[in-house]
Amino acid sequence: MTTLMQELRSRGVSPKKALGQHFLIDKGIAHKIIQLAALEPEDCVVEIGPGMGVLTFLMLPHVKRLAAVELDKDIADYLKEKGEGMASLSVICGDALHYDFQGLAQEAGRKLKVVANLPYNIATPVIFRLLECREAVAHLTLMLQHEVAQRIIATPGGKDYGPLSIFTQLYTSPKIMMRVRPQAFYPHPKVESAVVGFEILERPRVTINDHGFFQEVVRASFAQRRKTILNCLKNSPLVLGTKEEILEVLKAVGIDPRRRAETLDLVEFQHLAEALKRITEEYNSLIAAERRGT
């Protein structure tokens, strides 16, 4: 750790609070992450937020190619210098939220594995981005704040259950694989972390005809967690229809309108989204017909 810190300090570089940087410094933890990621010699890996490169340079001998995506230019320059001459390593200074995962997978001729110690402040957006790119990815091994990990594996009925639980469980099989103490990072975070493995499913757990609409229905349902599902949906600009029509939809799919979103499972959200999509399309058709008649 001392040598790494000295290297960065000699360059005038330090962890940036605004970027949520907590660098992994424990090589023992890094070795365990590599084992949990089940890396193979032909793998093409994307590491998001490599930081000082402790995990990066331990992974390199295990894979064919490693793309390290780092937002911080100072850190990216440090990694490029340290990795100079290593043909299997490419350091990209950029935002992982806009990284072309599909393009890299096509170039590599195989699905990617993603390994990351995600900054706490962007963990959830990055997970959603990776889910969007799921056809290009085979497996995720992500270090997250333990609280976020608990939300990912949460089941209906608890306070941790929400959109993150639903979307990750719809498209992946997530599992908490290891807890990590704050002392494994520099600077020490105030909370524990966890390594979560996500096996990307070949197909979603339930059939979704319109993924965008399904996701918006889920988000609208949780917009005000303490309100009933009926009250959340009737106040949503997404869902077209009167309160009475939404009430009828809920009854038709067997959902008590007095329930809260946190009690609905994947199948119930699937049925709800399909039914709401139908009445929304009917309203849109009526509006289009009226406009044509004027």
What are the CA-CA distances from residue 238 to residues 232, 281, 283 (Å)?
A: 11, 11, 12
> Nearest Cα to 207, choosing from 259, 171, 258, 156?
171
Residues facing 47 on adjacent strands: 68, 115
Separation between Cα atoms, residue 260 and residue 158, nearest integer Å: 11
- As annotated, the residues of the chain forming the CATH 1.10.8.100 domain(s) are 211-293
State the average pLDDT over residues 273-281.
87
When mean pLDDT is compared across 102-116, 179-193, 276-290, the lowest value belongs to 276-290
Closest CA to 272 of 226, 238, 285: 238
CATH hierarchy code of domain 211-293:
1.10.8.100
- Write down the pLDDT at residue 9: 72
Q: In whole angstroms, give the CA distance from residue 262 to residue 154.
A: 10
Q: Would you say residue 196 has pLDDT above 80?
A: yes
Q: Give the CATH number of domain 2-200.
A: 3.40.50.150
Task: Check residues 12 and 88 and name the one with the higher pLDDT.
Answer: 88
Q: Give the mean pLDDT of 42-49.
A: 97
Burial class (CB in 10 A: 0-12, 13-18, 19+), 185: buried
Residue-level pLDDT at 174: 98
Q: Is the pLDDT of residue 84 over 90?
A: yes
Residues of the chain within CATH 3.40.50.150 domain(s) are 2-200
pTM over the 0.85 mark: yes
pLDDT, tens digit, 9 for 90 and up, residues 237-264: 777 678 888 899 999 999 999 999 999 9
Euclidean distance between CA atoms 79 and 56, whole angstroms: 9
With a CB cutoff of 8 Å and minimum separation 6, the contacts of 285 are none
